[in-house]
Structure 1
């Protein structure tokens, strides 16, 4: 993955739309379009290999619309400029996280010492509970 090419393609090909944001803001919230929706056609994202495109399509399925555009929304702050900056960062982070190849976990078996330790602690617990039993008096 070429991060520089990815960053430049997002900056040049992304389309931005604004709308009214919910939440805090008082009277101003009904007048100012601070919510940012950033979308980019998946075909215009550069800096990815074929395998990474497949991973992106698979892992970002909920964020890809019917026009095959990857989108993200941001309405964290009351300021449109800050939300725009956060949306660009969020979209780039989303792409990077989606194409990251995770290592396959190798299952390991417990060691002999750990098995012995577990059995010993079970035996001690068993003896402790056994001592609590009521004694039958004649």
Structure 2
């Protein structure tokens, strides 16, 4: 069981863990051990996720999310397989916790009179600067 929040707990059966050969330091030993971890979690078909959390996860533009709605996390930070597995699980929990809170609705506001004035003044000063450049340029 992987606890995400008091109301959401993921059973191990929903997590697919695969071990791969990691790149990076380790000498010849790295070619023989599968210390990298690939963790897959099916967001689209998971019965453990509430519908609103699922919708927020699927709406994200995350390259780790496949077209089939599977979240793929690769952990290869450590040389140890166990630490990489824990790292992948922690990252999955972080992603799921991030989708728990609904984003705040943006309240449209109008720019203040002073901010409009500052914008126009900066545009005018920029235009003057460019005009002085064009006048002093000689066409020889």
Indicate the structure with greater helix content. Answer: 1
Deviation at 1:108, TM superposition (A): 2.5
Unaligned runs of 5+ in 2: none
Aligned to 1:94: 95
Q: Greater relative contact order (Cα 8 A, min sep 6): structure 1 or 2? A: 1
Distance, in Å, in 1 between the alignment partners of 2:41 and 2:96 is 11
Deviation at 1:130, TM superposition (A): 6.2
Distance, in Å, in 2 between the alignment partners of 1:40 and 1:128 is 57
**Alpha carbons 1:9, 1:45 under 8 Å: kept:** no
**Alpha carbons 2:64, 2:71 under 8 Å: kept:** no
Aligned to 1:39: 40
Q: TM-score, normalised on structure 1?
A: 0.68
Q: TM-score, normalised on structure 2?
A: 0.67
- Aligned CA distance change for structure 1 residues 80 and 113 (closer, same or farther; 3 Å): same
**Alpha carbons 2:22, 2:34 under 8 Å: kept:** yes
Deviation at 1:92, TM superposition (A): 1.1
Residues 87-106 of structure 1: CA deviation (Å, up to 9, x unaligned): 00011112223454222333
Q: Alignment partner of 2:10: what SS?
A: helix
1:63 aligns with 2:65: yes
Unaligned runs of 5+ in 1: none
Deviation at 1:79, TM superposition (A): 1.2
